[in-house]
Amino acid sequence: MLNEKVENALNEQINAELWSAYLYLSMSMNFQAKGLSGIANWFYIQFREEQDHARIFMNYINRRGGRVRLAPIAGVDTEWDRPIDAFAATLAHEQKVTAMINNLYALAASENDYATCDQLKWFVSEQVEEEETAQGYIDKLTLVGDNGMGIYMLDQELGARVYNTPAPLATAE
C-alpha cells in the first residue's frame, strides 16, 4: 500500500510526464509545419515515450493499491524558430524532470518505500539518456549553424528514429 505522501508525489509526476508529452507534441507540430518532417518525427516519438512514462507510473500506483488522480495539464509554448531552440528547451526541461525524479526517490527512501525506489531506478537511468541525447543534438546543431545542407542531413537522421516500447511497459502489458 502506498502512503499518501508518496502517492501524491507520484500523481504529480504523472502530470509532469503528461505535460512533457504535450510539450514535445507541440514541438513536433511546429517543425512539421516548417517542413522539417524528420525533426517532427523525432519529437513525435518523444511525445509517445512521455505518455509511456506516465502510463508506467499509473500502472504502478494501481498495482500498489493507490489511486491515480489526473489533474489539468498546463499550456505549452507553440513556437520554436530553429531546431536548436527546441533542443535547448528540451534539455532544460529534462534537467527539471531529473530533479523531480531525484526528489521523488529521496522521498520514497525517507518513507522506507523501497518498492517505489526500485520502480524509480529505471527513470533515473532514463533521465541520463534523455539529457545526453538532447545535449548531443545541441552539439550537432551548434556545429551545423545556419548551414542548410547540415540541417537537411540532420533532419534525415532524426527522421529515421523509430518508436520502441519502454522496457517496464513491454514486460508489464
Q: From the CB of 55, what's the least distance to ligand FEO, in Å? A: 11
Given the complex with ligand FEO, which of 151 and 158 has the nearer CB atom? 158
User: Which residue number has the CB closest to ligand FEO?
Assistant: 53
Decide: is 120 part of the binding site for ligand FEO (CB under 6 A): no
Packing angle, helices 37-63 and 4-33, rounded to 10: 160
**Distance from C-alpha of 83 to C-alpha of 76, rounded to nearest angstrom:** 17
Min. distance of Cβ 172 from ligand FEO in angstroms? 17
* By the rule CB under 6 A, 113 interacts with ligand FEO: no
Q: Is 130 in the site for ligand FEO (CB under 6 A)?
A: yes
127 CB neighbour count, 10 Å cutoff:
18
CB 6 within 8 A of CB 113: yes
Q: What is the DSSP string of 112-151?
A: T-HHHHHHHHHHHHHHHHHHHHHHHHHHHHHHHTT-HHHH
Binding mask 87-106 for ligand FEO (x = CB under 6 A): -------x--x---------
Q: How far apart are CA 116 and CA 16, in angstroms?
A: 17
Is residue 17 a contact point for ligand FEO (CB under 6 A)? yes
Q: Is 55 in the site for ligand FEO (CB under 6 A)?
A: no
Q: How far apart are CA 46 and CA 152, in angstroms?
A: 20
Minimum Å gap between C-beta 149 and ligand FEO is 30
C-beta of 126 vs 151, nearer to ligand FEO: 126
Comparison of 20 and 30: residue with beta carbon closer to ligand FEO:
20
